[in-house]
Structure 1
Amino acid sequence: MNVLDTFRLDGRIALVTGSSAGIGTALARGLAQAGARVVLNGRDAQRLAEAQAQLRGEGLAVEARAFDVADRAAVDAAVDAIERELGPIEILVNNAGIQRRASFIDFPAADWQELMRTNLDAVFHAAQAVARRMVPRGRGRIINICSVMSELGRPGIVPYTASKGAVKMLTKGLAADLGPSGINVNGIGPGYFKTELNRKLIDDAAFSGWLVARTPMRRWGEVEELAGAAVFLASDAARFVNGHILYVDGGLTASV
């Protein structure tokens, strides 16, 4: 087989959580362009429908399912319905996430719990629900969206950093547990990308200037630049890649 053919995802069903906007939509678009039938997910049905219409307008095979990935019962029901109505989920991308900024001393306990439910618990719930179906089939790809904050710390986002560090180690643990069943579990660690989640930082001239100077590529990332990593890790080109976190960060984690 030609090596380029191993990157194709034709006929595979991919569920991408948190994909009604930003990085999630970009990842969904990339997987669909590679031939996958992608199921978008989000809590806001209206935003989800708009994302679905946009991608279908580009000629891509896209479905949509509105549910909260932090709700275990909702995750189980949605995975059941997708597999029953569309077919086996062969690719899961755990992308849903939130950010809350405050000093550690003043960080509200309720915000900590909400952040952990969305950024960490939801990854566990979705991965377990899908893996239970992948294991008997002996194949599957799970991609968890980590962050450069899986490796680095910054003031004001202690809980986010804790959640993304945990997702990194959850990824490695899942790779060890599920690898013998033919399931590859890897992560993507985005650097700083132009998204609504980062709007406050983008609009902060001092921070943006610091970031550009700190990043070897000397710029912010564009969300489309994450799609190739997702296609690679979802494809047969990465069939012997397991437990790896692929940092797409312009070199941020490689330099001091």
Structure 2
Amino acid sequence: MDKPTAVVIGVGAERGVGAAVCRRFAREGCHLLVAGRTQAKIDQVAGTIETSGGSAEAVLTDASQEDQVIRLFDRAMQPGAGRAPADVVVFNAANNKRIDFRELEAQLFEDFWRVACFAGFLAGREAARRLVPLGRGTVIFTGASASLRGKPGYAQFAAAKAGLRMVAQSMARDYGPLGIHVAHVIIDGGIDGDRLRRSAPDAVAARGEDGLLGVEPIAEAYWQIHRQHRSAWTQEIDLRPFKEPF
């Protein structure tokens, strides 16, 4: 029996949400297409899955480039080597940085939008084009606190993430009745991953034990969304540490 196939877009360091989602779906017998912009990082994630007995391949992809996204989905939907066409797509691409609004250059604002919103549109569109004929599938978008509210210094991030949320909502209304489960996951808090530990070690230390979201529990939530019965689908959930104020 062919393995189910999952595509995860926006995979970076092994201690990150994208990589954790890849590992979680691989444990359930999925073949993973590990897509990201840095060859060394996606090779490492795919290699870890293979070493653990799973099935994965690294696909170098800049999700903001239409031709590369189309090529990724062409590969994902081509059955072969014991795997079925993909029926799970996770979009996890984003970048984040605090920037004074007065110093925010137009090109940088657009760059944030292209990575977190425009790329999500491309991934969502291609997923819809490929999954609707199958009459089934799951598409999950990674959101953030900024999907719901803007904070000082994060206008560029909030604008992109809020736009992505609207893409997810519109897709859910379009394609839910056609059998495609579209969900948006708001990660409301700091993530205990390589990015935050590298960029803000003092903040990580200040949060203390259980003050950050673990990447493996986040990945577990994604798997549970995929497994939901269609009579009780989640369109949006928020995840946060129990100590996080909101």
Question: Normalized against structure 2, the TM-score is what?
Answer: 0.88
The equivalent position to 1:34 in structure 2, one of 11, 28, 32, is 28
Contact 2:79–2:85 (Cα < 8 Å) also in 1: no
Q: Which residue of 1 aligns with 2:141?
A: 144
Question: What RMSD, in angstroms, separates the aligned Cα atoms of the two structures?
Answer: 2.2
Task: Determine which of 106, 113, 118 is the counterpart of 1:116.
Answer: 113
Change (3 A) 1:52 1:27: same
Deviation at 1:218, TM superposition (A): 5.2
Query: Which runs of structure 1 show a deviation greater than 3 angstroms over 4 or more consecutive aligned residues?
Result: 199-202, 240-243
Q: Spell out the pairing of 1:155-234 with structure 2 (5 A cutoff).
A: 155-190=152-187, 191-199=189-197, 202-205=200-203, 209=206, 219-234=211-226
CA positional deviation for 1:84? 1.9
SS at match of 2:78: helix
Tell me what 2:94 maps to. Answer: 97
Match of 2:66 among 64, 72, 79: 72
Q: Which residue of 131, 136, 141 corresponds with 1:134? A: 131
Amino acid at match of 2:7: L
Structure 1: unaligned runs, 5 residues or longer: 1-9
Name the SS for the 2:117 alignment partner: helix
- 1:133 deviates by 1.2
- Report the 3-state secondary structure (helix = DSSP H, G, I; strand = E; otherwise coil) of the residue aligned with 1:101: coil
- Distance (whole Å) between structure 2 residues aligned to residue 157 and residue 151 of structure 1: 12
| SS of equivalent residue, structure 2 residue 96 | coil
Where 1:160 maps in the other structure, the secondary structure is helix
Which secondary structure does the structure 1 equivalent of 2:72 belong to? helix
1:82 aligned partner: 76
Picking from 26, 41, 50, the partner of 1:47 is: 41
Verify: 1:15 aligned to 2:15, yes or no: no
Where structure 2 has 5 or more consecutive residues not aligned to the other structure, the ranges are none
Give the conservation status (yes or no) of the 8 Å contact 1:179–1:242. no
Match of 1:57 among 51, 76, 80: 51
Q: Which moved more, 1:226-235 or 1:189-198?
A: 189-198
SS at match of 1:62: strand
- Give the distance between the partners of 1:240 and 1:204, measured in 2 at CA: 45
Quick one: distance in 2 between partners of 1:104 and 1:226?
Answer: 31
Q: In 2, distance between residues paired with 1:50 and 1:25?
A: 10
| Identical-residue share of aligned pairs (%) | 26
Taking a change above 3 Å as real, the CA distance of residues 43 and 201 of structure 1, as seen in their structure-2 partners, is closer
Asked if the contact 1:148/1:249 (under 8 Å) is kept, the reply is: no
Residue 210 of structure 2 contacts residue 242 of structure 2 at CA under 8 Å; is this kept in 1? no
Letter in 2 for 1:223: V
Of Structure 1 and Structure 2, which has the larger fraction of its residues in strand? 2
Conserved? CA contact 1:41–1:48, under 8 Å: yes
Using structure 1 for the length normalisation, give the TM-score. 0.85
Is the Cα contact below 8 Å between 1:100 and 1:111 reproduced in 2? no
